[in-house]
Structure 1
Amino acid sequence: MKVHCRKVTNDNQISTRSYSWEQSNVWSGGEKWSKNMTLFLGILKYVAEKKKANLTDRAVILDNPFGKASSDHVLSPVFFITEQLGFQIIALTAHAEGKFLQDYFPIIYNCRLRASKDASTKIMTTDKWLHHAYFQDH
């Protein structure tokens, strides 16, 4: 299967030039993440359609999915495609800061381990941060 990609620029414009998969592998870490996530979600949607799964909403649980991606121009297209394909992303990440978390996730749980009286046991505490999401027109 041949895959061609288009690059999203810093000003959120899609390039007119298409690149081969091999050419796109030299892009920045965030841009590679964006194209890989888009292909991954597209394949998941394709497999669901082939299985004739009538699910309109799907959840994808990802362990530390962002890597080097934190810029809006690489995250925004992925989350737009995620929504269009009917996916919800649940991300487990060590990113504690970053506006992008608040922009794309309406609920954030911050889980920390704290010490207990027994040195071999740790207790997890959670802080829930609720972000009221409003419709965004992309």
Structure 2
Amino acid sequence: LDPDASSPADLDAWKALVASQGGLGSILTRGIDLGVTIKDPEVRFTRSGEIIVRGSGKIGPLTVPARAKVRPYIANDDLAFDVIETQLGRLSLPDSAAQLLSSGLEKAILAGRNVASVTRIDVTEGSLRFAGNVENSG
């Protein structure tokens, strides 16, 4: 993966993949059985190296603000996240739910690629860049 080799086609492919998976909110919360659906998620990359995800959490008939703040890092050649904060309304999510959210965020960032190893990740104001090696298939 070459972080400098992005193109509009790559972005279109990423958008198509996200749409095929039920949207970014679905990818971010896949595997979390809390009866919560995250709607209209917005992702922001900060100068301090954090990723902030905001949206609306729908729990039954209620809609409340949802927010997660994470910091990506590399662990054993994999993309990982230090979960700084997770909130659904006024409540913090338990660590287990936060870790599942991190897993969903990893899948969204890698956009379905089979990555053998992540070698670099940089988060700056408004952007995220990463480099790694793609698994050979077959």
TM-score past 0.5 threshold: no
Task: Name the TM-score, length of structure 2 as normaliser.
Answer: 0.21
Going by fraction, where is strand more abundant, 1 or 2?
A: 2
> When you count helix as a share of all residues, which structure comes out higher?
1
Higher-Rg structure is 1
